[in-house]
Amino acid sequence: MKHSYSLPFTVFLWLAIISSTIENNIVLAQQTKLPGNYVQIDAIDSKDEILKKAANVTPSKIQYEWQKLEFTAFIHFGINTFYDAEWGRKDYDISKFNPTELDVNQWTSTLKAAGVKLVLLTTKHHDGFCLWQTKLTDYSIANTPFQNGKSDIVRDLSIACKRAGLKFGVYLSPWDMHEPTYGTDEYNKYFVNQLTELLTNYGEIAEVWFDGACGEGTNGKKQVYDWQSYYKTIRKLQPNAVIAIMGPDVRWVGTESGYGRKTEWSVLPGSSSSQSEIADNSQQQKLDAAFVPRDLMNEDLGSREKIYAATSLIWYPAEIDVSIRNGWFYHTHDDGSVKSPEKLVDIYYNSVGLNGVLLLNIPPDKRGLIHENDVKALRGMKKILDETFSANFARNASADASSTKKGLPAKNILDDNLETYWSAEENVSQASIELTFEKEQKFNTAMLQENVLIGQRIEKFHLEYWNGLSWKTFVEGTTVGYKRLLRFSAITADRIRIVIDESRLNPTLASFGLYLAPETKE
Protein backbone atom coordinates (compact mmCIF):
# COMPACT_ATOMS: atom_id res chain seq x y z
CA MET A 1 0.00 0.00 0.00
CA LYS A 2 1.23 3.49 -0.80
CA HIS A 3 -0.57 5.46 1.92
CA SER A 4 -1.29 8.32 -0.50
CA TYR A 5 -2.42 10.64 2.26
CA SER A 6 -2.47 14.42 2.48
CA LEU A 7 1.26 13.94 2.81
CA PRO A 8 2.55 11.75 0.00
CA PHE A 9 3.99 8.30 -0.28
CA THR A 10 6.57 7.22 -2.84
CA VAL A 11 6.33 4.51 -5.43
CA PHE A 12 8.30 2.23 -3.07
CA LEU A 13 5.59 -0.28 -2.86
CA TRP A 14 4.82 -1.27 -6.38
CA LEU A 15 8.41 -1.28 -7.55
CA ALA A 16 9.50 -3.36 -4.61
CA ILE A 17 6.65 -5.80 -5.09
CA ILE A 18 7.82 -6.56 -8.62
CA SER A 19 11.44 -6.94 -7.48
CA SER A 20 12.76 -7.64 -4.03
CA THR A 21 9.54 -9.15 -2.73
CA ILE A 22 9.28 -11.61 -5.58
CA GLU A 23 12.96 -12.47 -5.27
CA ASN A 24 12.42 -13.11 -1.56
CA ASN A 25 9.42 -15.29 -2.38
CA ILE A 26 11.62 -17.43 -4.59
CA VAL A 27 14.27 -17.71 -1.90
CA LEU A 28 11.74 -18.64 0.77
CA ALA A 29 9.98 -21.13 -1.48
CA GLN A 30 13.28 -22.82 -2.20
CA GLN A 31 14.31 -22.79 1.46
CA THR A 32 11.04 -24.17 2.83
CA LYS A 33 10.16 -26.33 -0.21
CA LEU A 34 6.61 -25.03 -0.36
CA PRO A 35 4.66 -27.46 -2.54
CA GLY A 36 3.40 -26.02 -5.78
CA ASN A 37 3.66 -22.25 -5.36
CA TYR A 38 7.03 -21.93 -7.15
CA VAL A 39 8.26 -23.53 -10.34
CA GLN A 40 11.44 -23.08 -12.35
CA ILE A 41 11.22 -22.45 -16.10
CA ASP A 42 13.98 -24.19 -18.01
CA ALA A 43 15.60 -22.60 -21.05
CA ILE A 44 14.58 -25.58 -23.18
CA ASP A 45 10.90 -25.44 -22.16
CA SER A 46 8.50 -24.93 -25.06
CA LYS A 47 5.56 -22.54 -24.81
CA ASP A 48 3.25 -25.51 -24.25
CA GLU A 49 5.48 -26.76 -21.44
CA ILE A 50 5.52 -23.31 -19.84
CA LEU A 51 1.72 -23.12 -20.02
CA LYS A 52 1.48 -26.52 -18.37
CA LYS A 53 3.77 -25.40 -15.57
CA ALA A 54 1.80 -22.17 -15.12
CA ALA A 55 -1.48 -24.08 -14.94
CA ASN A 56 -0.14 -26.21 -12.11
CA VAL A 57 1.28 -23.47 -9.87
CA THR A 58 -0.89 -23.46 -6.74
CA PRO A 59 -1.11 -21.53 -3.47
CA SER A 60 0.60 -22.61 -0.29
CA LYS A 61 -1.70 -23.58 2.56
CA ILE A 62 -1.41 -20.17 4.24
CA GLN A 63 -2.01 -18.34 0.96
CA TYR A 64 -5.14 -20.41 0.34
CA GLU A 65 -6.50 -19.88 3.85
CA TRP A 66 -5.87 -16.14 3.49
CA GLN A 67 -7.66 -15.98 0.11
CA LYS A 68 -10.72 -17.65 1.60
CA LEU A 69 -11.09 -14.75 4.04
CA GLU A 70 -12.15 -12.53 1.09
CA PHE A 71 -13.03 -9.45 3.19
CA THR A 72 -10.65 -8.01 5.80
CA ALA A 73 -10.42 -4.74 7.72
CA PHE A 74 -7.63 -2.26 8.42
CA ILE A 75 -7.66 -0.26 11.65
CA HIS A 76 -5.55 2.91 11.43
CA PHE A 77 -5.35 4.24 14.98
CA GLY A 78 -2.55 5.94 16.90
CA ILE A 79 -1.04 9.28 17.83
CA ASN A 80 -1.89 10.56 14.33
CA THR A 81 -5.56 10.26 15.25
CA PHE A 82 -5.10 12.94 17.91
CA TYR A 83 -3.03 15.26 15.72
CA ASP A 84 -5.41 15.10 12.76
CA ALA A 85 -2.48 13.77 10.72
CA GLU A 86 -1.76 10.99 8.26
CA TRP A 87 1.99 10.38 8.33
CA GLY A 88 2.78 12.11 11.59
CA ARG A 89 6.10 13.35 12.94
CA LYS A 90 8.83 12.02 15.17
CA ASP A 91 8.30 14.62 17.92
CA TYR A 92 4.61 14.37 18.67
CA ASP A 93 3.67 14.80 22.33
CA ILE A 94 2.20 11.39 23.05
CA SER A 95 0.42 12.68 26.15
CA LYS A 96 -2.28 13.78 23.68
CA PHE A 97 -3.14 10.11 23.12
CA ASN A 98 -6.16 9.74 25.39
CA PRO A 99 -9.30 8.26 23.80
CA THR A 100 -12.32 8.93 25.98
CA GLU A 101 -14.50 5.92 25.12
CA LEU A 102 -12.20 3.35 23.54
CA ASP A 103 -14.05 0.08 23.00
CA VAL A 104 -12.36 -2.59 20.91
CA ASN A 105 -15.44 -4.79 21.30
CA GLN A 106 -17.40 -2.12 19.41
CA TRP A 107 -14.79 -2.40 16.66
CA THR A 108 -15.02 -6.18 16.41
CA SER A 109 -18.81 -6.37 16.70
CA THR A 110 -19.17 -3.76 13.95
CA LEU A 111 -16.71 -5.51 11.67
CA LYS A 112 -18.08 -8.98 12.35
CA ALA A 113 -21.58 -7.78 11.51
CA ALA A 114 -20.26 -6.34 8.23
CA GLY A 115 -18.85 -9.71 7.14
CA VAL A 116 -15.19 -9.00 7.86
CA LYS A 117 -13.05 -12.07 8.61
CA LEU A 118 -9.72 -10.55 9.75
CA VAL A 119 -8.77 -7.31 11.52
CA LEU A 120 -5.38 -5.70 10.89
CA LEU A 121 -4.15 -3.07 13.38
CA THR A 122 -1.51 -0.38 12.87
CA THR A 123 0.55 -1.34 15.92
CA LYS A 124 3.21 1.24 14.96
CA HIS A 125 3.02 3.75 12.13
CA HIS A 126 5.88 5.79 10.63
CA ASP A 127 5.92 8.13 13.65
CA GLY A 128 7.21 5.27 15.82
CA PHE A 129 4.46 5.38 18.48
CA CYS A 130 3.65 1.86 19.76
CA LEU A 131 0.19 0.69 20.79
CA TRP A 132 1.50 -2.10 23.01
CA GLN A 133 3.45 -2.42 26.26
CA THR A 134 6.83 -2.65 24.59
CA LYS A 135 10.10 -2.95 26.51
CA LEU A 136 12.08 -1.49 23.61
CA THR A 137 11.09 2.20 23.63
CA ASP A 138 9.45 4.78 25.87
CA TYR A 139 7.56 6.14 22.87
CA SER A 140 4.53 3.97 23.53
CA ILE A 141 1.09 3.75 25.05
CA ALA A 142 2.72 3.05 28.42
CA ASN A 143 3.71 6.71 28.67
CA THR A 144 0.33 8.23 27.89
CA PRO A 145 -2.44 9.28 30.28
CA PHE A 146 -4.78 6.73 28.72
CA GLN A 147 -5.70 4.27 31.48
CA ASN A 148 -2.73 5.61 33.44
CA GLY A 149 -0.35 4.01 30.96
CA LYS A 150 -1.62 0.49 31.67
CA SER A 151 -3.48 -0.06 28.41
CA ASP A 152 -2.35 -2.43 25.66
CA ILE A 153 -4.51 -2.02 22.58
CA VAL A 154 -2.77 -4.84 20.71
CA ARG A 155 -3.61 -7.19 23.58
CA ASP A 156 -7.17 -5.96 23.93
CA LEU A 157 -7.94 -6.14 20.22
CA SER A 158 -6.39 -9.59 19.81
CA ILE A 159 -8.59 -10.85 22.66
CA ALA A 160 -11.67 -9.14 21.22
CA CYS A 161 -11.01 -10.67 17.79
CA LYS A 162 -10.69 -14.14 19.25
CA ARG A 163 -13.92 -13.66 21.19
CA ALA A 164 -15.70 -12.52 18.01
CA GLY A 165 -14.32 -15.32 15.86
CA LEU A 166 -12.17 -12.96 13.80
CA LYS A 167 -8.57 -13.46 12.80
CA PHE A 168 -6.05 -10.87 13.94
CA GLY A 169 -3.16 -9.30 12.06
CA VAL A 170 -0.54 -6.63 12.69
CA TYR A 171 0.81 -3.77 10.61
CA LEU A 172 4.28 -2.71 11.75
CA SER A 173 5.97 0.15 9.91
CA PRO A 174 9.63 -0.52 9.10
CA TRP A 175 10.16 3.23 8.81
CA ASP A 176 10.49 4.75 12.28
CA MET A 177 10.93 8.52 12.47
CA HIS A 178 11.47 8.46 16.23
CA GLU A 179 13.86 5.56 16.93
CA PRO A 180 17.49 6.83 17.26
CA THR A 181 19.02 3.66 15.78
CA TYR A 182 17.04 4.00 12.54
CA GLY A 183 19.46 4.27 9.62
CA THR A 184 21.99 1.89 11.19
CA ASP A 185 22.48 -1.88 11.34
CA GLU A 186 21.36 -1.77 14.94
CA TYR A 187 17.86 -0.77 13.85
CA ASN A 188 17.31 -4.08 12.07
CA LYS A 189 17.89 -5.83 15.40
CA TYR A 190 15.51 -3.40 17.08
CA PHE A 191 12.85 -4.08 14.46
CA VAL A 192 13.23 -7.85 14.79
CA ASN A 193 12.81 -7.44 18.55
CA GLN A 194 9.62 -5.45 17.96
CA LEU A 195 8.34 -8.21 15.72
CA THR A 196 9.26 -10.76 18.35
CA GLU A 197 7.24 -8.95 21.01
CA LEU A 198 4.19 -8.77 18.75
CA LEU A 199 4.45 -12.34 17.53
CA THR A 200 4.98 -14.01 20.91
CA ASN A 201 2.72 -12.13 23.32
CA TYR A 202 -0.59 -11.77 21.49
CA GLY A 203 -1.80 -15.17 20.42
CA GLU A 204 -2.22 -16.32 16.84
CA ILE A 205 -1.33 -13.74 14.19
CA ALA A 206 -2.83 -14.43 10.76
CA GLU A 207 -1.19 -11.62 8.76
CA VAL A 208 1.88 -9.41 9.11
CA TRP A 209 1.68 -6.32 6.92
CA PHE A 210 4.69 -4.24 5.86
CA ASP A 211 4.59 -1.20 3.62
CA GLY A 212 7.59 0.08 1.71
CA ALA A 213 8.07 3.56 3.16
CA CYS A 214 11.74 4.35 3.77
CA GLY A 215 12.15 7.94 4.85
CA GLU A 216 14.79 9.54 7.03
CA GLY A 217 15.16 9.03 10.75
CA THR A 218 16.31 11.37 13.52
CA ASN A 219 19.89 11.21 12.20
CA GLY A 220 18.90 12.13 8.64
CA LYS A 221 19.67 8.62 7.39
CA LYS A 222 17.52 6.06 5.61
CA GLN A 223 17.43 2.42 6.61
CA VAL A 224 18.57 -0.59 4.60
CA TYR A 225 15.90 -3.04 5.67
CA ASP A 226 16.95 -6.62 6.38
CA TRP A 227 13.85 -8.21 4.91
CA GLN A 228 15.21 -11.73 5.15
CA SER A 229 15.70 -11.50 8.91
CA TYR A 230 12.19 -10.08 9.27
CA TYR A 231 10.70 -12.92 7.22
CA LYS A 232 12.64 -15.61 9.09
CA THR A 233 11.42 -14.22 12.41
CA ILE A 234 7.81 -14.37 11.25
CA ARG A 235 8.14 -17.86 9.80
CA LYS A 236 9.67 -19.07 13.06
CA LEU A 237 7.24 -17.43 15.48
CA GLN A 238 4.00 -17.38 13.45
CA PRO A 239 4.35 -19.96 10.65
CA ASN A 240 0.66 -19.68 9.73
CA ALA A 241 0.80 -15.92 9.13
CA VAL A 242 0.94 -14.54 5.61
CA ILE A 243 3.50 -11.80 5.05
CA ALA A 244 1.81 -9.12 2.99
CA ILE A 245 2.74 -6.32 0.59
CA MET A 246 6.49 -6.06 1.28
CA GLY A 247 6.44 -9.80 1.74
CA PRO A 248 6.54 -13.11 -0.11
CA ASP A 249 2.95 -14.28 0.31
CA VAL A 250 0.62 -11.44 -0.69
CA ARG A 251 1.14 -8.50 -3.05
CA TRP A 252 -0.38 -5.06 -3.31
CA VAL A 253 -2.64 -4.86 -6.37
CA GLY A 254 -1.31 -1.45 -7.44
CA THR A 255 -4.04 0.98 -6.43
CA GLU A 256 -5.71 2.30 -3.29
CA SER A 257 -9.06 2.77 -5.03
CA GLY A 258 -10.42 -0.63 -4.03
CA TYR A 259 -10.71 -1.63 -7.69
CA GLY A 260 -8.72 -4.57 -9.04
CA ARG A 261 -7.85 -5.56 -12.58
CA LYS A 262 -10.42 -7.10 -14.89
CA THR A 263 -7.74 -9.66 -15.72
CA GLU A 264 -6.04 -10.70 -12.48
CA TRP A 265 -3.60 -13.59 -12.44
CA SER A 266 -2.30 -15.07 -9.20
CA VAL A 267 0.47 -16.84 -11.13
CA LEU A 268 3.22 -14.35 -11.96
CA PRO A 269 6.78 -14.39 -13.29
CA GLY A 270 9.28 -14.75 -10.47
CA SER A 271 12.05 -12.81 -12.20
CA SER A 272 12.41 -9.03 -12.28
CA SER A 273 14.85 -6.15 -12.25
CA SER A 274 17.69 -6.17 -9.75
CA GLN A 275 17.04 -5.02 -6.19
CA SER A 276 19.54 -2.17 -6.37
CA GLU A 277 18.02 -0.86 -9.59
CA ILE A 278 14.55 -0.87 -8.10
CA ALA A 279 15.77 0.78 -4.89
CA ASP A 280 17.44 3.55 -6.90
CA ASN A 281 14.27 4.18 -8.86
CA SER A 282 12.06 4.18 -5.79
CA GLN A 283 14.08 6.93 -4.15
CA GLN A 284 13.55 9.44 -6.95
CA GLN A 285 10.32 10.76 -5.47
CA LYS A 286 11.03 12.96 -2.44
CA LEU A 287 8.78 12.37 0.53
CA ASP A 288 8.11 16.07 1.01
CA ALA A 289 7.12 16.62 -2.62
CA ALA A 290 3.64 16.39 -4.04
CA PHE A 291 3.02 12.89 -5.34
CA VAL A 292 0.43 11.72 -7.81
CA PRO A 293 0.13 7.92 -7.59
CA ARG A 294 0.94 6.10 -10.80
CA ASP A 295 -1.87 4.29 -12.53
CA LEU A 296 -0.63 0.73 -12.18
CA MET A 297 -3.81 -1.04 -13.14
CA ASN A 298 -2.81 -1.34 -16.78
CA GLU A 299 0.29 -3.31 -15.83
CA ASP A 300 0.35 -6.71 -17.55
CA LEU A 301 1.44 -9.15 -14.85
CA GLY A 302 0.58 -12.70 -15.82
CA SER A 303 -0.35 -12.94 -19.50
CA ARG A 304 1.04 -15.64 -21.77
CA GLU A 305 3.51 -13.10 -23.13
CA LYS A 306 4.80 -12.44 -19.61
CA ILE A 307 5.10 -16.05 -18.51
CA TYR A 308 6.76 -17.14 -21.77
CA ALA A 309 9.58 -14.71 -20.95
CA ALA A 310 9.87 -15.79 -17.30
CA THR A 311 12.61 -17.85 -15.70
CA SER A 312 10.33 -18.94 -12.85
CA LEU A 313 6.70 -18.66 -11.81
CA ILE A 314 5.16 -18.05 -8.39
CA TRP A 315 1.74 -17.92 -6.78
CA TYR A 316 1.38 -14.32 -5.62
CA PRO A 317 -2.23 -13.24 -4.97
CA ALA A 318 -3.44 -9.65 -4.74
CA GLU A 319 -4.72 -7.66 -1.78
CA ILE A 320 -6.83 -4.65 -2.70
CA ASP A 321 -6.91 -1.87 -0.12
CA VAL A 322 -9.07 1.22 0.22
CA SER A 323 -10.33 3.42 3.03
CA ILE A 324 -13.98 3.92 3.84
CA ARG A 325 -13.08 7.63 4.11
CA ASN A 326 -10.78 9.97 2.21
CA GLY A 327 -7.98 9.49 4.73
CA TRP A 328 -6.54 6.45 6.46
CA PHE A 329 -6.60 7.93 9.95
CA TYR A 330 -9.75 9.53 11.34
CA HIS A 331 -10.44 13.21 10.61
CA THR A 332 -13.59 15.06 11.65
CA HIS A 333 -13.73 16.79 8.26
CA ASP A 334 -14.11 13.35 6.64
CA ASP A 335 -17.35 12.57 8.46
CA GLY A 336 -19.30 13.62 5.38
CA SER A 337 -17.10 11.69 2.94
CA VAL A 338 -17.81 8.15 4.15
CA LYS A 339 -18.40 5.87 1.18
CA SER A 340 -22.02 4.94 0.65
CA PRO A 341 -23.24 1.33 0.98
CA GLU A 342 -23.67 1.22 -2.79
CA LYS A 343 -20.09 2.39 -3.35
CA LEU A 344 -18.79 -0.21 -0.90
CA VAL A 345 -20.73 -2.92 -2.70
CA ASP A 346 -19.25 -1.78 -6.01
CA ILE A 347 -15.79 -2.00 -4.44
CA TYR A 348 -16.59 -5.50 -3.18
CA TYR A 349 -17.48 -6.67 -6.69
CA ASN A 350 -14.29 -5.13 -8.05
CA SER A 351 -11.97 -6.61 -5.44
CA VAL A 352 -13.32 -9.87 -4.01
CA GLY A 353 -15.08 -10.36 -7.33
CA LEU A 354 -11.86 -9.90 -9.28
CA ASN A 355 -9.73 -12.64 -7.69
CA GLY A 356 -8.53 -10.46 -4.81
CA VAL A 357 -8.96 -9.96 -1.09
CA LEU A 358 -10.52 -6.67 0.01
CA LEU A 359 -8.75 -4.78 2.81
CA LEU A 360 -11.15 -2.02 3.85
CA ASN A 361 -9.81 0.61 6.25
CA ILE A 362 -12.19 1.75 9.01
CA PRO A 363 -10.39 4.22 11.32
CA PRO A 364 -11.65 4.75 14.89
CA ASP A 365 -12.21 8.34 15.96
CA LYS A 366 -10.72 10.28 18.89
CA ARG A 367 -13.22 8.67 21.23
CA GLY A 368 -11.77 5.29 20.28
CA LEU A 369 -14.95 4.21 18.49
CA ILE A 370 -15.84 3.46 14.89
CA HIS A 371 -17.87 6.52 13.91
CA GLU A 372 -21.63 6.23 13.49
CA ASN A 373 -21.43 7.19 9.81
CA ASP A 374 -19.01 4.35 9.13
CA VAL A 375 -21.15 1.88 11.05
CA LYS A 376 -24.21 2.90 9.03
CA ALA A 377 -22.37 2.48 5.71
CA LEU A 378 -21.09 -0.96 6.69
CA ARG A 379 -24.56 -2.10 7.72
CA GLY A 380 -25.97 -0.89 4.43
CA MET A 381 -23.28 -2.70 2.48
CA LYS A 382 -23.94 -5.97 4.32
CA LYS A 383 -27.69 -5.65 3.77
CA ILE A 384 -27.25 -5.36 0.00
CA LEU A 385 -24.81 -8.27 -0.17
CA ASP A 386 -27.04 -10.47 1.99
CA GLU A 387 -30.08 -9.70 -0.16
CA THR A 388 -28.09 -10.51 -3.28
CA PHE A 389 -26.44 -13.76 -2.27
CA SER A 390 -29.15 -15.29 -0.08
CA ALA A 391 -30.52 -17.43 -2.94
CA ASN A 392 -28.51 -19.20 -5.64
CA PHE A 393 -30.93 -19.80 -8.49
CA ALA A 394 -28.54 -22.26 -10.14
CA ARG A 395 -28.33 -24.60 -7.15
CA ASN A 396 -31.04 -27.07 -8.21
CA ALA A 397 -30.26 -27.02 -11.92
CA SER A 398 -29.17 -30.07 -13.87
CA ALA A 399 -25.67 -29.75 -15.34
CA ASP A 400 -24.22 -31.30 -18.47
CA ALA A 401 -20.73 -30.61 -19.85
CA SER A 402 -19.36 -30.90 -23.38
CA SER A 403 -16.26 -32.58 -21.97
CA THR A 404 -15.81 -34.25 -18.58
CA LYS A 405 -12.81 -35.84 -16.97
CA LYS A 406 -13.69 -39.13 -15.29
CA GLY A 407 -14.88 -38.64 -11.73
CA LEU A 408 -15.18 -34.85 -12.02
CA PRO A 409 -18.73 -34.22 -13.28
CA ALA A 410 -20.36 -30.88 -14.02
CA LYS A 411 -22.78 -31.22 -11.08
CA ASN A 412 -19.84 -30.55 -8.75
CA ILE A 413 -20.02 -26.84 -9.54
CA LEU A 414 -23.37 -26.64 -7.73
CA ASP A 415 -22.48 -28.28 -4.38
CA ASP A 416 -20.96 -25.26 -2.55
CA ASN A 417 -17.71 -27.16 -2.00
CA LEU A 418 -14.66 -25.43 -3.49
CA GLU A 419 -12.58 -28.58 -3.32
CA THR A 420 -14.91 -30.62 -5.49
CA TYR A 421 -14.93 -29.48 -9.08
CA TRP A 422 -15.67 -30.16 -12.71
CA SER A 423 -12.82 -30.66 -15.14
CA ALA A 424 -12.72 -31.03 -18.89
CA GLU A 425 -10.74 -33.95 -20.29
CA GLU A 426 -7.00 -33.71 -20.71
CA ASN A 427 -5.88 -31.78 -23.80
CA VAL A 428 -9.24 -29.99 -24.03
CA SER A 429 -8.88 -26.23 -23.60
CA GLN A 430 -12.38 -25.19 -24.72
CA ALA A 431 -15.53 -26.57 -23.14
CA SER A 432 -19.01 -25.66 -21.97
CA ILE A 433 -21.46 -26.56 -19.22
CA GLU A 434 -25.19 -26.28 -19.83
CA LEU A 435 -27.49 -25.70 -16.86
CA THR A 436 -31.21 -26.44 -17.11
CA PHE A 437 -33.63 -25.12 -14.48
CA GLU A 438 -36.97 -26.65 -13.47
CA LYS A 439 -38.61 -23.31 -14.26
CA GLU A 440 -37.56 -19.91 -15.54
CA GLN A 441 -35.31 -17.93 -13.21
CA LYS A 442 -34.58 -14.21 -13.11
CA PHE A 443 -31.02 -13.15 -12.28
CA ASN A 444 -28.57 -10.27 -12.78
CA THR A 445 -25.43 -11.50 -11.02
CA ALA A 446 -23.15 -14.47 -11.62
CA MET A 447 -20.33 -16.03 -9.64
CA LEU A 448 -17.62 -18.37 -10.90
CA GLN A 449 -14.85 -19.97 -8.83
CA GLU A 450 -11.97 -22.19 -9.82
CA ASN A 451 -10.47 -24.75 -7.49
CA VAL A 452 -7.18 -22.87 -7.16
CA LEU A 453 -5.69 -25.84 -5.29
CA ILE A 454 -5.48 -27.32 -8.78
CA GLY A 455 -4.29 -24.05 -10.31
CA GLN A 456 -5.61 -20.97 -12.09
CA ARG A 457 -6.37 -21.84 -15.70
CA ILE A 458 -9.34 -20.02 -17.25
CA GLU A 459 -8.26 -17.17 -19.54
CA LYS A 460 -11.52 -16.22 -21.23
CA PHE A 461 -15.18 -17.19 -20.86
CA HIS A 462 -18.70 -16.03 -21.59
CA LEU A 463 -22.20 -16.88 -20.39
CA GLU A 464 -25.18 -17.49 -22.68
CA TYR A 465 -28.92 -17.95 -22.19
CA TRP A 466 -31.40 -19.77 -24.43
CA ASN A 467 -34.04 -17.36 -25.72
CA GLY A 468 -36.22 -20.09 -27.23
CA LEU A 469 -34.55 -19.92 -30.63
CA SER A 470 -30.82 -19.57 -30.09
CA TRP A 471 -28.06 -18.99 -27.54
CA LYS A 472 -27.41 -15.33 -26.67
CA THR A 473 -24.33 -14.05 -24.84
CA PHE A 474 -25.22 -11.90 -21.83
CA VAL A 475 -21.84 -11.40 -20.12
CA GLU A 476 -18.19 -12.26 -20.68
CA GLY A 477 -14.93 -12.15 -18.78
CA THR A 478 -11.30 -13.16 -18.74
CA THR A 479 -9.69 -14.62 -15.60
CA VAL A 480 -11.68 -16.33 -12.85
CA GLY A 481 -9.24 -17.50 -10.17
CA TYR A 482 -10.55 -17.83 -6.62
CA LYS A 483 -13.70 -15.81 -7.37
CA ARG A 484 -15.20 -13.84 -10.24
CA LEU A 485 -18.40 -11.83 -9.81
CA LEU A 486 -20.25 -10.32 -12.76
CA ARG A 487 -23.24 -7.99 -12.95
CA PHE A 488 -25.49 -7.50 -15.96
CA SER A 489 -29.00 -6.50 -16.98
CA ALA A 490 -31.55 -8.94 -15.59
CA ILE A 491 -32.10 -12.13 -17.60
CA THR A 492 -35.06 -14.50 -17.34
CA ALA A 493 -34.32 -17.98 -18.68
CA ASP A 494 -34.63 -21.69 -17.98
CA ARG A 495 -31.33 -22.63 -19.64
CA ILE A 496 -27.90 -21.04 -19.53
CA ARG A 497 -24.49 -22.10 -20.75
CA ILE A 498 -21.03 -21.44 -19.31
CA VAL A 499 -18.56 -21.36 -22.21
CA ILE A 500 -14.82 -21.57 -21.55
CA ASP A 501 -13.22 -19.98 -24.61
CA GLU A 502 -9.55 -20.16 -23.60
CA SER A 503 -7.74 -22.04 -20.86
CA ARG A 504 -4.26 -23.04 -19.78
CA LEU A 505 -4.61 -26.82 -20.05
CA ASN A 506 -8.02 -28.37 -19.45
CA PRO A 507 -10.29 -25.93 -17.61
CA THR A 508 -11.77 -26.62 -14.19
CA LEU A 509 -14.62 -24.97 -12.31
CA ALA A 510 -15.43 -25.47 -8.63
CA SER A 511 -18.48 -23.31 -8.07
CA PHE A 512 -21.11 -21.40 -10.01
CA GLY A 513 -24.02 -19.26 -8.90
CA LEU A 514 -26.76 -17.03 -10.28
CA TYR A 515 -28.30 -14.33 -8.08
CA LEU A 516 -30.70 -11.41 -8.18
CA ALA A 517 -29.25 -8.23 -6.69
CA PRO A 518 -31.73 -5.61 -5.46
CA GLU A 519 -32.04 -2.32 -7.28
CA THR A 520 -29.94 0.39 -5.63
CA LYS A 521 -29.62 4.13 -6.07
CA GLU A 522 -26.07 3.94 -7.46
DSSP H helical ranges for 17-152:
22-32, 47-55, 61-67, 79-83, 104-114
Please name the residues in contact with 185: beta carbons below 8 A apart, sequence gap of 6 or more: none
Which pLDDT does position 293 carry in this prediction?
Answer: 35
Which pLDDT does position 12 carry in this prediction?
Answer: 41
Local confidence band at 278 (pLDDT 50, 70, 90 cut-offs): very low
Taking the CA of residue 429 as centre, how many other CA atoms within 13 Å lie in the half-sphere pointing to its CB?
Answer: 11
Domain ranges of the chain: 12-389, 398-515
pLDDT digits (tens, 9 = 90+) for 373-395: 999 999 999 999 999 999 999 99
Which pLDDT does position 522 carry in this prediction?
Answer: 57
Rounded-to-integer distance, Cα 415 and Cα 424, Å: 18
Which pLDDT does position 440 carry in this prediction?
Answer: 97
Of 214 and 276, more confident: 214
pLDDT at 413 over 80: yes
Which pLDDT does position 284 carry in this prediction?
Answer: 29
Rounded-to-integer distance, Cα 130 and Cα 122, Å: 9
Are 155 and 132 contacting, i.e. CB atoms less than 8 angstroms apart?
A: yes
Mean pLDDT for 25-45 is: 65
Residue-averaged pLDDT of the chain = 89
Mean pLDDT for 153-178 is: 98
Which pLDDT does position 20 carry in this prediction?
Answer: 47
| Long-range contact set of residues 274-277: C-beta below 8 Å, sequence gap at least 24 | 274/19, 275/19, 275/20, 275/23, 277/19
Mean pLDDT for 139-163 is: 98
Of 126 and 217, more confident: 126
Rounded-to-integer distance, Cα 13 and Cα 455, Å: 27
Local confidence band at 506 (pLDDT 50, 70, 90 cut-offs): very high
Which pLDDT does position 62 carry in this prediction?
Answer: 97
In this predicted structure, which of 136-150, 189-203, 211-225, 408-422 has the lowest mean pLDDT?
211-225
Which pLDDT does position 25 carry in this prediction?
Answer: 46
Local confidence band at 49 (pLDDT 50, 70, 90 cut-offs): very high
pLDDT at 431 over 90: yes
CATH of 398-515, one of 3.40.50.12160, 3.90.180.10, 3.40.50.300, 2.60.120.260: 2.60.120.260
Are 184 and 174 contacting, i.e. CB atoms less than 8 angstroms apart?
A: no
Local confidence band at 297 (pLDDT 50, 70, 90 cut-offs): low
Residue type, 200: T
Mean pLDDT for 97-108 is: 98
In this predicted structure, which of 58-67, 72-81, 206-215, 485-494 has the lowest mean pLDDT?
206-215
pLDDT at 283 over 80: no
Rounded-to-integer distance, Cα 401 and Cα 76, Å: 48
CATH architecture of 12-389: Alpha-Beta Barrel (3.20)
pLDDT at 407 over 90: yes
pLDDT at 400 over 90: yes
Q: CB count, 10 Å around CB of 326? A: 14
Local confidence band at 295 (pLDDT 50, 70, 90 cut-offs): very low
pLDDT at 28 over 90: no
Which pLDDT does position 36 carry in this prediction?
Answer: 83
SS3 state at 123: strand
3-state secondary structure 193-260: HHHHHHHHCCCCCCEEEECCCCCECCCCCECCCCHHHHHHHHHHHCCCCEEEECCCCEEECCCCCCCC
Which pLDDT does position 218 carry in this prediction?
Answer: 85
Q: Look at residues 398, 391, 521, 400 and name the one whose alpha carbon lies nearest to residue 443.
A: 391
